Structure 1
């Protein structure tokens, strides 16, 4: 990709010149064609985060799918516990999961890769060719030939969250409430507690609690380890292939006219597919709701079938475009982030006028890899000293 100098060009800490790097983003049609091979992801570790945001390498917070019995997505809003997102958690839990995985697996190839990041970041890359006006910013470091990528909250995102109306906050809660209505604490085959079914109708949601997995896959020549939250498992966890039973839970407005159908297929289904496809989740269960937050119907979508639902339709998206674009961006990052130093960072931005990705060297600012990760240690607690401290 091209590069050009500008007044802010500077040298790295080693005295080397680093020009701002540019990745031109072409029209989506430029990324058509056969896509790079994407290998079936495999789970290399899983972990739980409890209501106190403490990390445990077990299944205590894994939930199990049980079809929603309630319909009111606003119920329990007064009991909603929302995670404090002003406390930056970086890649901390994923790094700990990777360290823990290395203590469990004898094959080092299973726990090493060219990239380590969150599933949400890869989702942004896959969707960018079709989501041109959604800004994002990433922070990147390289250590022992592995590139680590985290998201940096943009000023635009912070402002939108600050100005969110009461109605917008309630609608955000609806998605979490659907998860509460659709899950139970143990596999249904072991028996479902009637009290738990009654409680989930009135209970709120606690976004501090999460169950997460770390998976490994390959896109083209780029190997990836991604962390992702898992909503639930359909039945007991399958130890041989746990990904095969996971379910992604989503809510969406009930589709009632052609315009709503186009928006659902072009934007919602794209993100539903990308999120689940990336980590090998085979099913997306959608609760369709009305404007009052009442579930009208629940529908299942097989992840691999979703692209067929939009194929050939005007203005639709193509998975090969998404994969080709993401693969080229990863190649570009690998070519330009070359300093093996966990205390050095780079910034990658996508913003107006939506023509290019830009990469800048940010030196020792925003160091995010933890010291304990470099030392091969883990912790139940988030935070702690960063690399170089």
Structure 2
């Protein structure tokens, strides 16, 4: 049986936005220069410091965002990383809490060791849901698997699988998502969702390095590997000559919520302004870095629509992780940086409303809240579901495809770890 989430009557999602919990980081992880995962490590955290150009008294110079890419160090995208980074870090975080509890720290109880939420996912996948109402060019396909359904909290994980290209299509991009469903009952079910983007038309070439290289170069010349006070002038001025690599990454894991659904999201953040605050309850001044060609004449409706589509992606990505500012490096057609514009994430929806009004932030949030409730109510019990939305479709389909669990979505080590925690919780409850 197929269940569908209707995208035709969007007016039912209009109006005042649903409640939102401010994202708060509770854990993080890094990938180092070799793209080796390091849970709970801030090794790859970067600090924002803009490139110096166009300043009074400085010889005119425009950084070349296409320079140096013959030495570009690109990570191996053929390796399917699944949910490993997210789950390994979540496990490390919970194990650290368990050590504190076993050490007798009063504030840690076994019932609070396992991180509970309705949805645990990569930020990239939630971005697709948040923008689906106004993005007719996007499509996605997810798999959902439920397992171990006798715990107080229902856990749902979502993961994107790489699909090999065949005669009917070209290569597909890969992202990942995990969701955790929890409705507070004594009987629950653990589920895993996986997502695959449909293949591109076979005549469409794979994007070349030059498509994405300006963004990596802009990030390289806009960040430092240590706070400004601990960085030498030579390090600041030599950034344009550094070899660009997309192996290092700093990923933030946050608790947040949209409507009735609580979430844990994980995603890469580009850099922080000055430093992260010491208190975990304080907002972190993250900076998202983007590059773009100079926008056309925004009084022209076509150019305004094109520009606001970019703003939709900028806003959604930053909104979900609580990134307050976006720095956009505008470039010439041949790749030279011309200026940097600062956007405040929270003000982007109002900016669009004053412009061509091609999308509505409140509607996006309301729709996402409704879809998450629909998802956690639909994906229950054992088996595998497909969650699918094709380009230009005005619906999201959810239908069962198999009756068995997809064992490769959640690592065995993570499942074993969660079973241990569940056993400890049961033992503690029986001891009361």
Identify the TM-score tier after normalising by the shorter chain: 0.7 to 0.9
Equivalent residue number for residue 93 of structure 2 = 101
Distance 2:95 2:113 in 1: 13
Equivalent residue number for residue 12 of structure 1 = none
Equivalent residue number for residue 29 of structure 1 = 11
Greater shift, 154-163 or 103-112, is seen at: 154-163
Distance 1:213 1:162 in 2: 36
Equivalent residue number for residue 67 of structure 1 = 50
Query: TM-score by structure 2 length?
Result: 0.76
The structure-2 alpha-carbon separation of the partners of 1:284 and 1:131, relative to structure 1 and needing over 3 Å to count, comes to: same
TM-superposed CA distance for 1:191, in Å, is: 3.0
Deviations 1:297-320 (A, max 9, x none): 001111111112111433421111
TM-superposed CA distance for 1:193, in Å, is: 4.3
Give structure 1 regions of 4+ aligned residues with deviation exceeding 6 angstroms: 161-164
Greater shift, 19-28 or 158-167, is seen at: 158-167
Query: TM-score by structure 1 length?
Result: 0.84
Distance 1:152 1:311 in 2: 36
Deviations 1:221-267 (A, max 9, x none): 10100111010111122232475221111111112312475135421
Alignment partner of 1:44 is 2:26: yes
Distance 1:322 1:192 in 2: 44
- Contact 2:305–2:356 (CA<8 Å) still a contact in 1? no
SS at match of 1:41: strand
Distance 1:365 1:325 in 2: 29
Alignment partner of 1:189 is 2:236: no
The structure-2 alpha-carbon separation of the partners of 1:262 and 1:204, relative to structure 1 and needing over 3 Å to count, comes to: farther
TM-superposed CA distance for 1:352, in Å, is: 4.2
Alignment partner of 1:53 is 2:94: no
Equivalent residue number for residue 82 of structure 1 = 74
Alignment partner of 1:346 is 2:385: yes
- Contact 1:253–1:289 (CA<8 Å) still a contact in 2? yes
Distance 1:121 1:255 in 2: 27
- Contact 1:345–1:367 (CA<8 Å) still a contact in 2? no
Deviations 1:162-201 (A, max 9, x none): 877698430211111111110111000223341x334421
Aligned counterpart for 2:279 among listed residues 221, 225, 240: 240
Alignment partner of 1:372 is 2:376: no
Structure 2, unmatched stretches of 5+, are 53-61, 98-107, 164-168, 173-198, 419-432
Distance 2:157 2:370 in 1: 17
Greater shift, 302-311 or 161-170, is seen at: 161-170
Aligned CA RMSD, in angstroms, stands at: 2.5
Equivalent residue number for residue 118 of structure 1 = 122
The structure-2 alpha-carbon separation of the partners of 1:193 and 1:199, relative to structure 1 and needing over 3 Å to count, comes to: same
SS at match of 1:151: coil
- Contact 2:136–2:392 (CA<8 Å) still a contact in 1? no
Instruction: Count residues with an aligned counterpart.
Output: 355
Equivalent residue number for residue 83 of structure 2 = 91
TM-superposed CA distance for 1:367, in Å, is: 3.5
Equivalent residue number for residue 249 of structure 1 = 289
Distance 2:201 2:244 in 1: 19
Aligned counterpart for 1:221 among listed residues 237, 252, 260: 260
Equivalent residue number for residue 15 of structure 1 = none
Alignment partner of 1:317 is 2:345: no
